[in-house]
Amino acid sequence: MTDNHLVWKEEGSREVFKCRVFSVRESSCRSPDNELRPYTVIDTTDWAIIVPLIETEQGRKFVMVRQWRHGSRELSLEFPGGVFESGEDAEAAAGRELLEETAYRAGKIRKIGEFSPNPAIMSNRVHFFLAEDLQNTGAQNLDEDEYIEVETIGVAEVLRGLGRPPYVHALMGSALALYIQKTAEDSGFLPNP
């Protein structure tokens, strides 16, 4: 059995708004019942989110960034990340964003998953990476409008805090779920398929 009876067909689109971060287009789509309807789609580049892990005398910790988020109008403590530059592949974007935001360079970086941040209205993907064997270079390289503090937080503290300030970024939940999945696979608790 196929799912073709659920597929919509885009017959046209037009850009209705564009800014530095994203554009909005109206998409004309034909429904499975052959009705033509308009839908709004936000187009933006793909993002990388990095889960940087360090081993300390006190146990495993995440390297995280604290920054102001204009949409929620509050500070957020989250994993570093950002948008891909033109022509950049996902792993290169992840390594670059980690280094720029935290000053840490990963000796080992591996992709742990990928999601559509909001497939109902957004066309992009977010790629998640686990970064290990970190070396602190001592120099952030922030964009002119980035004000970021770097913090190391225990894994258990982050897991307990998820869903409450300052751990309010929804994609943090996705990143942590993928980290837990990868940790379970690496330990043999969750066998690879």
Report strand pairing: 47-56 vs 59-69.
Answer: antiparallel
Q: Which two tokens stand for residue 131?
A: 């970064």
CA angle 94, 97, 102 (to 5 degrees): 120
- List, in order, residues 6 or more apart from 117 with CB less than 8 Å away: 47, 124, 125, 126, 171
Long-range contacts of 64-69 (CB under 8 A, 24+ apart): 64/150, 64/151, 64/152, 64/153, 64/158, 65/101, 65/102, 65/148, 65/149, 65/150, 65/151, 66/148, 66/149, 66/150, 66/151, 66/166, 67/146, 67/147, 67/148, 67/149, 68/147, 69/169
The catalytic residue positions are 144
The residue assigned the tokens 């850009």 is 15
